[in-house]
Amino acid sequence: MFLSPNIVAKLSEWTNRRAEMYFEQNTNTRTVYGVQWKKLEKEEMYVFIALHILTGLVKCSRITDYWSNNILCAGPKVFNKSIMSRNRYLSILKFIRFSPPEAARNNAPLSRLEIYMSMLKDNCKTLVDPGPVFAREVILDNWYTSVRLSQFLLTQGTYVFDWNYKKQSWSSRSVN
């Protein structure tokens, strides 16, 4: 899995640090969405990520509807307080960070994702070995009009699959 325990632990750490910073600025309360903030553990972050992915697969008009008891607008049954309460989910969503909160720079919005994306990229490099197959989206590349791409494919001995999934070798073809 691309989200290794190390990455999830870092996400939990950065989220907790952001919550601490928020409560240092707002000293009169330690509650968010009516819930007392407690330190986010790695296991709970996995649950949050799973629920968040599920919100992308099952559409509801409002995020609070996922936990609704109304059959007409409720989300899947996995959205219940025994898994994670709605207010806990919303409080984690408020504080989640993908880099140390101190590393964020106002003039560089991507600085908020740099560390996370580099960790994810490193995981991809170690977990995925595409091998000698070079895959491209033919429709987007418009390979038949791109001489440079055609010449590159010829030198690599790349295989092309047409819509019927017949394997054709570039090394046996010529480019006009």
51's tokens: 């629920």
Give the model's pLDDT for residue 166: 47
**How far from 37 is each of 8, 55, 84, 92, CA to CA, in Å?**
19, 23, 14, 9
pLDDT in tens, 53-98: 888 888 888 888 888 887 777 777 778 788 888 889 999 999 998 8
Give the tens place of pLDDT for each residue, 21-63. 888 888 787 778 877 888 999 999 999 998 888 888 888 888 8
What pLDDT shows up at residue 161?
52
* Predicted TM-score (pTM) above 0.75: no
Q: What is the pLDDT of residues 102-160, one digit of tens each?
A: 877 788 777 788 888 888 888 887 777 666 555 555 544 454 556 666 666 666 665 55
- CA-based nearest residue to 141, from 127, 152, 130, 132: 152
Coil, strand or helix: which one is 35? strand
State in Å, rounded, how far the first CA of the chain is from the last one: 43
